[in-house]
Chain A
Amino acid sequence: MRKLILSLLAVLLITGVSLADGKKYGTGVTLKEVTKISTIFENPEEYTGKKVVVEGMIVDVCSKRGCWMEIASDKEFEKIRVKVEDGEIVFPLEAKGKNALVEGMVEKIEMTKEQAIERAKHHAEEVGQKFDPASVTGPEVFYQIRGLGAVIK
C-alpha cells in the first residue's frame, strides 16, 4: 500500500512539473500570423470581430482576479487591453514585464458616460487610486481583445 501511494505521488509530481513548465493560458495560440497592435489601432473597424494574435510586453495585469492584462504596442505610448472571462483564464501578476503572445477577438466597446465613469471608478478601486468622476468627460469608444488564449514567455 505504501509503495502504491509513493508511486502515485511520484507520478503526480512528475506530471505537475511538466504542467507547471507550460505557460500556456486558455486555448494557447493557434494562429501563425502575428498582427501588430499598431496595425489594429490604425484601422480598428477592419479588425473588429476578427481573431488575431498579438505580441508584446505585458505592462499591467488585473490585480484582483487576473481577468485582464495590457500588452504594449510596437508603437510608443500605445497598449491594448486583453479581457478574459472571469475565472476562465487567470493571468498572474508576476507576468508584468514579460513577453506574451495573445490570441483573441478584436472587439469594439462603446460606453455611455455613466458606464465610462463606472468603469474608471472600478479600475481606480482595483489599483488603489483616488477617483475623480470629472476625469471622464463623455461617452467612450475603445477597442480591446477578448482573449481566448495566451502564451507567456
Chain B
Amino acid sequence: MNQAIVLLLGMLAILEVTFPLHADAADRESFIQKNCIECHDAATKEGGLDLTSLKFNLVEPDNFNNWARIHDRVAKGEMPPPDSQRPTAAELEGFVNDLSTPLIAADRERIAKEGRSTRRRMNRYEYENTLRDLLGIPVLEVRDFLPEDNQISGFNKVGDGLDVSHVQMARYLKAADFALRNALSPQSDPIEATTTRYYAWDQRGFPKGAGPTIRMTFKMLGYELQARSGRRGGANVATPTPPAPSPEVTHDREKESYVIVTSTYEPAEIQFNSFRAPVTARYKLKFSAFSMWMSTDFTKASVGHCSEPMTVYSDRNPSLFRRLGSFDVGVEPTINEIDVWLITGETIRPDAARLVRCRPPEFKNPLAEADGMPGMAFQWMEVEGPLFDQWPPPGHKVMFGDMPIVNRPTVEPVDRGDRGDRGDRAERGGRRGAVDFSPKVEVVSNNHEADSEVLMRRFMERVYQNPPREVDVQRFLRVYKNALGEGYNFTDAMIASYTGVLSSPAFIYFDEKPGRLPGRALADRLAFMLWNSTPDEELLQLAASGELQNPDVLRQQTQRLLDHSKSRQFVNAFLDYWLDLRLIEATSPDTFMYPDYELDDLLVESQLEETQLFFSELLKRNLPSSSLISSDFAVINERLADLYEISGVEGTVLRPVSLPIDSIRGGLLTQGAVLKITANGTTTSPVIRGGWIMSRLLGQPPPPPPEKVPVIEADIRGATTIREQLAKHRSDALCNSCHRNIDPVGFALEGFDVMGARRERYRAMTDEGSAVKGIGHNGQRYTHRDGLPVDSSGQLPDGREFSDVRQLKQCLLENQEQVARNLLQQLIVYSTGSPIQFSDRPVVAKILERTKADGYPVRSLVHEIVQSDLFLNK
C-alpha cells in the first residue's frame, strides 16, 4: 500500500498540471483512500479498475468515461459494495458532488469547443425523403440504392456511425442520377388525365387455372358462375354455361365479376394488368367489388356473409410491390377510391387479404364451412390520371426552370394505356422488364454558357443548406463542361453536374458548427426531427429572416410540423429504431407450429400500423408518457381485435377503441408488434422480452452476459418450460445478479404467443398431450399439442409481486419518471444526433421537473427538447 501512496502522490503532482488541485480534489482523494483503494489498487484491480494509476485528466475521453462510471456506480449506491463498510450518506453525497461538478464542467468545455454531436450526413431514409421533397416525387425510391447505416445509441442518426465507403460513394452517384432522370418531364406537352374503366373480365391477369379448384378464379355474371374455357385442370366446374362474352357484349357489364376464394399466393396472383402507369404521377383508383359465398363444390355462388378487407398493391416487374392502401368490400357491390402515386410501369394487384393463402402441398380452406366458403368478386377498376398539379412537374422546374422543352427524337409519345390493346403492349414490354427510364425530353438552350451558370446557381441555392460558394459553382460547372466536351447534350451534361451536387459533402452533411445553431441549421434540425426530411418554404423563410430563433416562433413551427401529415415520417423513423419496428418482418411464425399465422400479411401490416398510430395518438392528444405502459384505449381494426379477443370492431381501418377496464391490452407492452419483434417466430423468451423492455421502455439496458455462459436453448418438445430452465439458471448467484432484473418483466409477457395472442398453454411439438388440429392460414393442416401451462407471475427485484401483465403494468406505473426519462432521452438522441452526454443530465432533470405535474406528456416533451440548449446548439 505504501508503494501505492507514493505512486498516488506522484500522480497528483502530474494532475495539478491539467486540473487545479483544490479542496474538492483533496476530499475526493481521501474518500478514495478510505473507501475504494483496498479493492481497486494496483495489486487487486477489482473489476479491472486500478485507482492508483487512474489519472484525473478529464480532457481525455477514456479518462472522462472512467470517472463518469465511478460517479455513476457510487451515485447508484452500487459502490462501495453493500456488504462492505459503507461511508455515511453525507460522505457519499459529498463525493458524488465533488465528482459531478468537474465532470460536467469538463464535458461542457468539450462541447463548447467541438459541439455535442459529431458532424453527420443524412441517413438513407433522410436522403430519400429529402430528394422526394426537393423533386416533388413522393414515391421516388432511392433508399435501397444506399447501404444500411450503422446505429449508435440505437439510432441511425449519430454522426460517428454514419460512415461513407467507396461503395456508398458509388451508390450516391447512381441514386442521384436515377432521381434526377425520374424528375425530368416525361414529355414536352402537358399530359391530359383520362378516366378509364378496366373490367376484370378483360384482364389477362385474372383467369387462373393451375392446380386444385381452390386456387382458381371464376368468371361470374350476377351470381351465375360461367364455364371455364379449356384451361388446364379446370374441368370440374360444371355450371350451366352461357356462351363466353363475344366482342359485342350483350349483357350488363356491371354484372360481370371475377371470383377468387384465396388471397395472393403464386400462381394465384390476380392483376388489373392491362393498366400500367404510363408515367410516375398521382392517380385516383376506384375499385368495384363485393364479397360473396361459394358453394363447397365450387358450382354455386350466393350472397356473401360479411364484408371482406381488400389490400391493394402496386406491382412492377420484377416483383417490386408497394402497398397502396386497404379498405372493406361489402356484400353489395362496393366502390372504394384511393388516391395514390404510381411509378412508371406499375400495374395494380388487389388482394382479398383475409382469405386463405393456399400453399402447396395441402390445399385446405380454414374459412370453409359446411355449405361453402367466402370469396371476393372483383368487378372493375377505374383509373383517373395521370394527375399533375403543375407542368412541367416540380422536379423538372428545380433542374431547368421554365426553359423550352422538346421531345427527344427517338421517343414515342407517352402511352396512356387507355385502351386495352395498348395496355397489352405495355404489359408485354413490362414482361421483358423493359420499363424505360431513359430521358424522354431535352431542354432547348440557345446560350449554353449563360444558361448553365444560371441553372447551376439556382439549383445549388435550392438544394444546398447554405448559399453556394462561387468556387463550388465553378466546380460543378466543370463537370458540365467536361460532359459537354465528351459529346453529351446540354440536358444530360447538366444532369451529370447535378448528380455531383447531390452527392457532394455540402449536400449530404449537415452543416453544424460549435455553438448556437444559425437559422438554417436550426430549421434543418427541426425538419429532420419532425418530418425526417428537409425544411419547407415557410420554415426556410423564417430561418432566413432570423425569426426562427425566437422561442415563440420556434414553438409555433414545432406545432405546425407536428400537425402536418408528414409528421408520420417522424413517428415511423423514430419507432423503426427505438422499438425496432423496422424488424417486424425479420422473423415469421414457424410454419409447423404456428401455421394459423403463416403469411398473414393483413395481421403484420395491421400490427405495424397499430404501434405507429398509437404513438401518433399520444403526440396528437399530448397524453402522459405513462400511456406507453398503460392506456385505456388501443388503436385497432377487426383483424387486431380478433387477435386481442375484443368484440365489436369491424373493418380494416385502424382507429382508437376504448378498452374494458380489466383489459390486458393498452400500452406498448401488449401490442402485437412489440410481442412479435421480441419473439423469434417459434418460441418466446422472458430473457429477450424482459431485456428488450428494460432497455427500450425503462432505459435500463441489461449488461451483456458474461462470456462462456451457454445460451438457454429453446425446447419445443414440451417437457419443460422456459421458466423452469431459467430457474436453474438463476440459482447461480452470478447469473441471478442480472437475471433478477431482466426476467420478471419477461415472465409477465409469457402469457402472449409469438404474434401477441393471449395463451394459457404453450404449444408443443411432441406426441403427447391433447392434440389441437386445424388448418392454417396457408391452407395446410396442422397438429400441435397442448403443452405445459403458462405462468405469468413474477417478482420484481425490489420484492413487489405480480400475477400477470396487468399487475406488472401497475408496478411499472409507480415509477412514471423512469418511463418518461427514457422516452425523453431516446428523443434527444434521435433529434440531436448525439448520444446522451454526462452534462445533459441537469437538462434532462429540468425538463422532467417541468413536465411532471402533467404526467410528462409526450408532445410537451418534444417542445421541451426543441427549446433546450441540447437542440439549439450543435
Q: Do A and B bind each other?
A: no
Hey, which bits of chain A sit against chain B, CB under 8 A? Answer: none
